[in-house]
């Protein structure tokens, strides 16, 4: 894993946008997360689209997850959220922005179909990830199988509480079920780009990077992936003990790729 500790969210957004831009320029398939963490990266990519002509016209995008039971028009579905925060402001065709169908009558079939559609698209080239304070990625809560596929999951009460801020602070309005890419699905993306900010992520980041690979910290599976970039601010890095491994500078030789 490459661990990049940055001064602030703006620096993280620039580095993350640099990485995503390289894939977008080649018309690659992007894996998108919702939540507050990637918002700055999306804003930076929108800025590059508007001011520097960065095009996403040849890209496809796949979301990580969706609430179950919210109608598609609901402003808090991830279907709507990603459009509002990112894809409506760039030149990707709306039909190329895919998400799990949280309204499906047969959720098991819909989940399998979603995995199949990712495969048909040739897989995800770069997957943007946030991390839950309990170490979840997507909505794979602790004890999720590390080889799981897209399926329905029940949210942990802490995650429901964390997400209540998007539902007028009212936990009773937060759906308790989600359809999420499994950890096995997420692992198939060729490059995982995880961002984390703030002290409430410090424990999860430490467990992900320095703890054992364990279903108790689903994000720790990133240790088993060949191409991972983790970008964290100082507060989210505060629980890391072995910073000597992350702080060294890579000599910049021609053809050496940092990320």
Q: Give contact residues for ligand F6R (rule: CB under 6 A).
A: 33-37, 64-65, 130-132, 136-139
CB 77, min distance to ligand F6R, A: 11
Tokens for 125, please give them. 């080239």
- Determine contact, residues 65/32, Cβ cutoff 8 Å: no
Specify whether 141 is catalytic: yes
Burial 201-212 (b: 16+ CB within 10 A, else e): bbbbbbbbbebe
Strand residue runs (E) in 65-166:
65-67, 97-98, 126-129, 151-154
Phi-psi region of 137 (alpha: psi -120 to 50; beta: other; left: phi over 0): beta
What distance in Å separates the CA atoms of residue 35 and residue 81, rounded to the nearest whole number? 9
- Please state the closest distance from residue 126 (CB atom) to ligand F6R, in A: 15
* C-beta of 82 vs 90, nearer to ligand F6R: 82
Decide whether 10 or 57 has the Cβ nearer to ligand F6R.
10
Q: Which of 44, 141, 162, 233 is catalytic?
A: 141
Which tokens go with 71? 């109608």
Find the shortest distance in angstroms from Cβ 120 to ligand F6R.
22
Query: CB–CB of 150/115 below 8 Å?
Result: yes
Of the candidates 44, 49, 65, 191, the residue annotated as catalytic is: 65
44 part of the active site: no
Of 55 and 177, CB closest to ligand F6R: 177
Q: Which is nearer to ligand F6R, 90 or 194 (CB)?
A: 194
Q: Give residue 27's region: left, alpha or beta (phi > 0; psi -120 to 50).
A: left
> Does 74 qualify as catalytic in the annotation?
no
Q: Name the residue nearer to ligand F6R (CB basis): 55 or 214.
A: 214
- Shortest Cβ 235–ligand F6R spacing (Å): 13
170 is annotated as an active-site residue: no
In the complex, which residue's CB is closest to ligand F6R? 130
- The distance of closest approach from Cβ of residue 172 to ligand F6R in the complex, given in angstroms and rounded to an integer, is 19
User: Which of 44, 134, 162, 233 is the catalytic position?
Assistant: 134
**Spatial contact of 33 and 128, defined as CB atoms under 8 Å apart:** yes
The residues annotated with a catalytic role in the active site are: 65, 134, 136, 141
């Amino acid at each position: 894993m490459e661990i990049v500790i940055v001064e602030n969210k703006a620096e993280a957004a620039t580095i993350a946008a640099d990485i995503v831009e390289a894939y977008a320029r080649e018309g690659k398939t992007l894996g998108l997360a919702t939540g507050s963490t990637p918002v700055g990266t999306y804003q930076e990519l929108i800025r590059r689209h508007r001011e520097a002509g960065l095009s996403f016209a040849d890209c496809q995008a796949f979301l990580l997850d969706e609430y179950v039971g919210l109608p598609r028009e609901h402003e808090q579905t991830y279907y709507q959220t990603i459009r509002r925060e990112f894809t409506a402001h760039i030149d990707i065709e709306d039909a190329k922005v895919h998400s799990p169908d949280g309204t499906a009558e047969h959720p098991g079939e819909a989940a399998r179909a979603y995995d199949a559609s990712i495969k048909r698209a040739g897989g995800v080239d770069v997957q943007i990830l946030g991390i839950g304070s309990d170490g979840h990625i997507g909505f794979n809560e602790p004890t999720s199988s590390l080889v799981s596929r897209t399926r329905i999951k029940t949210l942990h009460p802490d995650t429901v509480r964390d997400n209540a801020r998007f539902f007028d602070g009212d936990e009773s309005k937060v759906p308790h079920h989600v359809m999420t890419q499994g950890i096995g699905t997420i692992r198939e993306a060729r490059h995982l780009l995880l961002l984390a900010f703030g002290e409430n992520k410090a424990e999860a980041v430490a467990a992900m990077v320095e703890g054992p690979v364990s279903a108790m910290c689903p994000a720790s599976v990133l240790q088993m992936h060949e191409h991972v970039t983790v970008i964290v601010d100082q507060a989210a890095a505060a629980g890391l003990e072995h910073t000597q491994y992350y702080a060294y500078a890579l000599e910049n030789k021609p053809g050496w790729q940092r990320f």
